[in-house]
Structure 1
Amino acid sequence: MIRKSIGLLAGMLVTVAVYAAGVQLRADHPDSYTVRRGDTLWAISARFLSKPWLWPEIWQANPQVRNPHLIYPGDVLDLSFINGGPSLRLEPAVHREGDAIPAIPLDQLKPYLKDSRVVDPDAVKNAPYVMGFEEGDLTGTSGRNIYVRNLNAQPGQRWAIVRPTHVFRTYGGSESEESDDMAANLVDSDVATTRTPWNEEWQTDLGRATPNHAFRGKTLAMEVTVIGQAEVLRGGDPSTLLLLSSIMEVRAGDRLMPIDDNPYDPYYYPHPPKTLPPDGRVIAFSLERLSEVGPNDVVVLSIGAKDGVDNGTTFSLWQPGEQMPDDVAHDSWTRYSHKFVTLPDEYVGHVMIFRTFDRVSYGVVMDGLKPVKVGARVKMPE
């Protein structure tokens, strides 16, 4: 089936001539581009525009564009200049359903779309839990029975088995805020993801971990990973469930939550926030024990749906300025006489939100000049 939707890119480039004050073509834009499998809308737009997150505004000025996501591998956009004006030639290809180009590389983000959830810590604490296994097994494997406490369910119902992985907190804070925090005794962002079950041994193990001052803020939410799925065989307390599948061994203390059947919608637009949420920060990385990340890596932000953040919201990331001694104004040879000055924040890159929760969100670093570190501030994408 021939798709004419490639016209949206053509319209985008034509309209640039009119709206050049707000959106500008890159000086090094190519004369033509063939859409390839694995491309994303951001990457394609970045080849032509100096500000890729503005392409929706341009497309909205072209009423013939109905769905900017219907761009397909093989479509060719030819851009040349004749007598100082743009001349466009479109070469649409034959497309297969399901091959439309997404806004960002979804294949790399599947674990965060299906396998991870961010919920209130109390919801995890009070959820039904695995107490034991068939024939006294120490762990649960697919095809075996598991026994669950506090589950109100009927035979045939299916449940997700989850395991806590991180507690997300506001950046900074004081020790007093952390000391009376229930979630602090469960799992922490500066502790390895894989942990023993939710029991006293686990809490003691976490209590021995060296605290990270960056995470002594107020608790925002808890991340859990879906590790399996089970079906209720018999109700009661404990209930008997058949473990249908799992990506790792199920342990006593793992929690049960309803299966999330809501499909992830990849069809959204990059856009700047309507208003800048106060003190939005990078508070965690997807990869454990890294001190910094770069393009295509996933970061966790301390802002979410309640702050007006939705899929496609694009921010710039700025690393807080370091403190440097002013040895000119103060004698550097005299001990303890240094006057420290806070340097200006430094721009490091752009981040686009691809999944939001109430108080936190997942974003992917789209580009950057410098590595992104925990504590980076979010600002308007300009």
Structure 2
Amino acid sequence: MPSKFPLKSASLIALAGLAALATSTASAQNFPITNAQKATANQVAQAGVPLSELSPTAPDSYTVKRGDTLWAISGVFLKTPWRWPELWGMNLNDIRNPHLIYPGQVLYLDKTGGRARLTTRGPGSDNTVKVTPRVRSESLSANAIPTVNMSVIESFLSEPLIVDEATFAKAPRIVATQENRVLLSRGDRAYARARSADAPDAAPLALVNGKTGSYRVFRNAVPLRDPTTNDIIAYEAQYVGKVSVVGSETTSETTGADGKKTTEIIPASLDVVSAKEEMQVGDRLLPEPEREFTNFVPRAPQSAQSGQVVSVYGNAVRFAAQNQVVAINRGREHGLERGHVLAVLRESSVLTDTTDSGRPQVRLPGERNGLIMVFRTFDKISYAIVLDIQDGVQVGHRFVNP
């Protein structure tokens, strides 16, 4: 028989989440939430958001749809989508995990008391529902909506690699190809070595416990220079594909006809698993890194940020439009984190005032041009996706806090 319990919607969501976690804990991702985000969310959850901060077109209710992103939903209710902690705070009583919002959930906008709050409980609800005890398990982690369109940056989470020159120079390299082929593609066999005259003590490429090892293949460590100082701040290696080690790098002792012993070098055998571009002799190998989580909380940096774009990712690309990727000259050492949103400024320019008979030179200010979000950080450099832009972003353009 159905039982009647005075359960709030939040409790029902929690029960559904527990049922899901019972079967998907092993595959669930642990998304970090900073103390600053918690503090902001708690503050907003208590007081709500001023009505002036709402978008002029904010609806009374919104049903989350498949294909939505947290960035887009933030923009539905707030003027500033990067202020995600406020949106999370507005939902804090009903949505405990800001990363887990699912298609079908309905968000209601409450404007009572001159403040705005979001809730999953509709107006006039008495918070009493009928429930029937039953067990239903479903993996919700795969259905939660992402922060931004992940298909746009999925490849960039693994492809760009920032290294120092010494590390790249001493990385294992492809030394030969099967049948002396000039270029390699998926399914081809190649041979590589880790040791060399410059790295005689390097660990040889080898099978690990009899199992193959995965490596990424890179080429041309291009120096990235600070647009202001022209100093090299990092090296960006060009990603060309992946290989797996199927045979270990070894040496073999042989005896010649004259009775003298010589040492033969036997390179490691590689199979090309995937190729973004055709590989060749001289390309470098670096181990496959651990997979990073692929969800972000858009937010403004807590500390003051100011820097410049150092490169636009992609061959022969000068201007970055929406959904393209740029590298900036600030990283972990400067306090940048994944999810930080920055405002890009137009480049300041000087022109002649033709309305003045004296023809003075005037400088136009660098005004706001759009927004970028950091999604991968290194020590002194980061990659960011262009979220929205009015004019194209190019090398040298400045960025500041939003």
Shorter-chain TM-score category?
0.7 to 0.9
1:26-65 map, 5 Å: 26-57=55-86, 59-60=88-89, 62=92, 65=95
CA spacing shift, 1:43–1:322, aligned 2, 3 Å:
same
Determine if the alignment matches structure 1 residue 259 to structure 2 residue 259: no
AA at the equivalent of 2:96: R
**Aligned counterpart, 2:398:** 377
Tell me by how many angstroms 1:226 deviates. Answer: 4.6
Q: Which one of the candidate residues 275, 279, 300 is aligned to 2:303? A: 275
For the residues of structure 2 that align with 1:36 and 1:344, how far apart are their CA atoms?
A: 41
- Specify the alignment match of 1:190 in structure 2: none
Counterpart in the other structure of 2:104: 74
Match of residue 241, structure 1, among 250, 269, 294: 269
Deviation at 1:308, TM superposition (A): 1.1
Given that 1:153 and 1:232 are in contact with CA atoms closer than 8 Å, whether structure 2 keeps it comes out as no
Residues 54 and 271 in structure 1, CA contact (< 8 A), matched pair in contact too: yes
2:347 is aligned to 320
User: Which residue of 2 is the match for residue 187 of structure 1?
Assistant: none
| Aligned twin of 2:219 | 163
Gaps of 5+ in 1: 7-11, 174-215, 333-338
Residues 370 and 157 from structure 1, CA distance in 2 versus in 1: closer, same or farther, beyond 3 angstroms?
A: same
> Per-residue displacement from partner, 1:159-180 (whole Å, max 9, x unpaired)?
322223743221144xxxxxxx
SS in 2 for 1:115: coil
Q: Which amino acid aligns with 1:245?
A: V
User: Which residue in 2 is equivalent to 1:360?
Assistant: 381
1:105-144 per-residue CA deviation (whole Å, 9 max, x = no partner) reads 1111111012222222322122121121123222334444
C-alpha distance after superposition, 1:196-247 (max 9, x if no partner): xxxxxxxxxxxxxxxxxxxx54342323315121214131345121214121
CA separation of 1:328 and 1:142: change in aligned 2, threshold 3 A: closer
TM-score by length of 2: 0.70
Change (3 A) 1:22 1:115: farther
Matched, 1:153 2:205: yes
Counterpart residue type for residue 325 of structure 2: V
Q: Is 2:346–2:367's contact at 8 Å kept on the other side of the alignment?
A: yes
The residue type paired with residue 247 of structure 2 is L
CA RMSD in angstroms, aligned pairs only: 3.4
1:331-371 C-alpha deviation (Å, 9 max, x unpaired): 45xxxxxx433211110111111111122111112223443
Query: How far off its partner does 1:24 sit?
Result: 1.2
Aligned residue number for residue 133 of structure 1: 177
| Equivalent position SS for 1:243 | strand
Structure 1 residues 264 and 233, CA gap change in structure 2 (3 angstroms): same
Equivalent residue, structure 1, for 2:260 = none
1:16-55 deviations in whole A, cap 9, x for unaligned? Answer: 8935459811111122222122211111001101122222
Match of 1:200 in 2: none
Secondary structure of 1:245's aligned partner: strand
SS in structure 1 at match of 2:393:
coil
Cα distance between partner residues in 1 of 2:303 and 2:59: 34
Find out whether 1:121 has 2:165 as its counterpart.
yes
Alpha carbons 1:5, 1:67 under 8 Å: kept: no
Which has the higher Rg, Structure 1 or Structure 2? 2
Q: 1:51 to 1:4 in 2, by over 3 A?
A: farther
Pair 1:109–1:144, CA change in 2 (3 A):
same
Describe the SS at the equivalent of 2:234.
Answer: strand
**How many equivalent residue pairs?**
325
In the superposition, relative to structure 1, how do residues 5 and 369 fare at CA in structure 2: closer, same or farther (>3 Å)?
Answer: farther
Contact 1:221 1:359 in 2 (8 A): no
SS at match of 1:225: strand
* Residue of structure 1 aligned with 2:362, choices 334, 337, 341: 341
CA distance in 2, matches of 1:165, 1:234: 26
* CA 2–38 in structure 1, closer or farther in 2 if over 3 Å, else same: farther
Rounded Cα–Cα distance in structure 2 between residues aligned with 1:351 and 1:134? 44
Question: Following the alignment from structure 1 to structure 2, what is the Cα–Cα distance between the partners of residues 67 and 132?
Answer: 51
Asked if 2 retains the 8 angstrom alpha-carbon contact of 1:70 and 1:101, the reply is yes
Q: Kindly tell me: are residues 219 and 22 of structure 1, through their superposed partners in 2, closer, same or farther at Cα, counting changes over 3 Å? A: farther
CA contact (8 A) 1:315 1:378 kept: yes
Pair 1:81–1:329, CA change in 2 (3 A)? closer
* Equivalent position of 2:127 in the other structure: none
Counterpart Cα distance in 2 of 1:347 and 1:379:
9
Do the aligned partners of 2:177 and 2:189 also contact (CA within 8 Å) in 1?
A: yes
With structure 1 as the length reference, what TM-score do the two structures score? 0.74
Cα separation, 1, equivalents of 2:120 and 2:284: 57
Aligned-residue sequence identity (percent) comes to: 28
- Asked if the contact 1:165–1:225 (Cα under 8 Å) also holds between the matched residues in 2, the reply is no
Amino acid at match of 2:13: R
Q: Structure 1 residues 319 and 83, CA, compared in 2 at 3 Å: closer, same or farther?
A: closer
- Stretches of structure 2 that go unaligned for 5 or more consecutive residues are 1-10, 17-40, 123-136, 196-203, 251-264
